[in-house]
Amino acid sequence: MRPRPVVVWLRNDLRLADHRALAAAVATGAPLVFVYILDDETPGAWKRGAASRWWLDKSLAALDGALRARGGRLTLRRGAATQVLPRLVADCDAQAVYFTRAYEPHAVAVEDILKVTFDAVGVAFKRFGGHLLREPEEVRTKAGDVYKVYTPFWKALSADFTPPKPLAAPKTLLGFEHDLASDALADWRLHPATPDWSGGFSECWQPGEAGAHARLKTFLADALQDYAEDRNRPDKPGTSRLSPHLHFGEISPAQCWTAAVHAAHATGGAGKGLETFLKELVWREFSHTLLYYWPDLPEQPFRQEFAAFPWRRDAAHLRAWQRGATGYPIVDAGMRELWHTGYMHNRVRMIVASFLIKHLLVPWQDGEAWFWDTLVDADLANNAASWQWVAGSGADAAPYFRIFNPIAQGLKFDPDGAYVRRWVPELAALSNEALHAPWEAPALMLAAAGITLGKRYPLPIVDHAAARARALAAYDDVKALAQQKS
Which are the catalytic amino acids? 280, 283, 311, 346, 364, 387
DSSP 93: T
Helices (H), 69-138: 81-92, 105-121
| Residues 323, 202: Cα–Cα separation, whole Å | 21
Phi then psi for 100, rounded to 5 degrees?
-95, 135
CA angle 132, 299, 129 (to 5 degrees): 15
**Of 1, 66, 6, nearest in space to 35 by CA:** 6
101-116 burial code (b ≥16 CB/10 A, e <16): bbbbbbbeebbebbee
| Residues 245, 164: Cα–Cα separation, whole Å | 20
- CB-CB contact of 435 with 303 (8 Å): no
Q: Give me the numbers of helices (H) and strands (E) for the chain, helices first please.
A: 22, 5
| Residues 248, 56: Cα–Cα separation, whole Å | 8
Q: What is the residue type of 352?
A: V
Strand, coil or helix: 262: helix
Give the DSSP H or E segment for 155: helix 150-158
CA angle 7, 9, 11 (to 5 degrees): 170
